A and B are shown apart, each in its own frame.
Chain A
Amino acid sequence: MAIVDLANPSRFLKFANRVIPWLGGLTVVAFAFAINQAMLAPDDYQQGATVKIMFLHVPGAWLGMLGWGVMTVAALGTLVWRHPLADATAKAAAPIGAAFTLMCLVTGSLWGRPMWGTYWVWDARLTSVLLLFLLYLGVIALWRTVEDPSRAARAAAILTLVGAIDLPIIKFSVDWWNTLHQPASIMRLGAPTIDRSILIPLFVTVVAFTLAFATLLLAATRNEILRRRVRTLRLMQASAAS
């Protein structure tokens, strides 16, 4: 099956029904391995065992940004090609991205309290991630308030494209401003600054969470297509009755 064929909602549903159980199973195996790796990872020489919070905080940050990235691509699909699958994907990605952004914020706070002595500071990195979370809530609210799905999709797509400006701000905030948050330690010019004994478990947890994100996104998009079918059928039923 070509990728383009998946743009047809019926074919997407068939594809999703076939792939979701396998992807879900793979996610469970990946999580089992990731938990094992996280437990076996050594304590940091400065931070002690609190470094293990990184195995949740970093995937949360990555998936919060990936979620908005997916929505940005889908927004282009909505505005340029007016494709219903793009709308469904964008709508499905919003709560998932919001949940992972919230996980990033909360685990970051729980890591910050013992390491920095505070749960929160208004530095550029923390504030720009909080802004991303608020943008997610704005998009979710838009989808819920505008009843017509195609109108809601266009409004949400515009907000998504505007909000995409926040992604490079989050990434480079630690370089552009003086922040309490540490500078980039993995995705940077030059080698990562994290020791291999912690970097490998981190990589494994990121892969496990990314698989979970893919499974959840696929399943939520399938739900959204089914929801639209239900809506169409109810409208048909109502028009037949009147």
Chain B
Amino acid sequence: MEGASHIDFIVAAYAVGGAVVGGLTAWVMLDYRAQLRNLADLEKRGVTRRSAPARGEAVMQQAKEEA
């Protein structure tokens, strides 16, 4: 069986392999950037993981002052 006559099948298979690896890499990288952007956006608005206890402490402090 002559391999050369099936070159189109070989090229198509390697194109599929490249598309799968390239597509997954692009998906992971773009998703990472999107999540970092979302986190930065929330941080800019003052919503951070540390902000919840900090706000809680501020509210407690204000309540003590009022008392």
Residues in chain A near residue B35, CB distance under 8 A: 223, 226-227, 229-230
Residues in chain B near residue A46, CB distance under 8 A: 1
* Interface magnitude class on chain B: 35 or more
Is there an interface contact between B16 and A110, defined as CB atoms closer than 8 Å? yes
Number of A-B contacts (CB under 8 A): 106
Residue of A nearest to B33 (CB): A223
Is there an interface contact between A49 and B28, defined as CB atoms closer than 8 Å? no
A119 nearest CB across to chain B (Å): 10
B21 nearest CB across to chain A (Å): 6
**A220, B24: Cα distance in complex, Å:** 9
Interface of A is mostly: helix
| A107-121 at interface with B (beta carbon < 8 Å) | 107, 110-111, 113-115
Is there an interface contact between B6 and A50, defined as CB atoms closer than 8 Å? yes
Q: Produce 1/0 per residue, A90-123, CB < 8 A to B.
A: 0000011001101100110011011100000000
**A50, B9: Cα distance in complex, Å:** 8
15 A-B contacts, Cβ less than 8 Å apart? A49-B3, A50-B1, A50-B6, A53-B10, A60-B20, A107-B13, A111-B9, A209-B21, A212-B24, A216-B25, A223-B28, A233-B48, A234-B42, A234-B47, A237-B45
Which residues does B use to contact A, with CB under 8 Å? 1-7, 9-10, 12-14, 16-17, 20-21, 23-25, 27-29, 31-32, 35-36, 38-39, 42, 45, 47-49, 51-52, 55
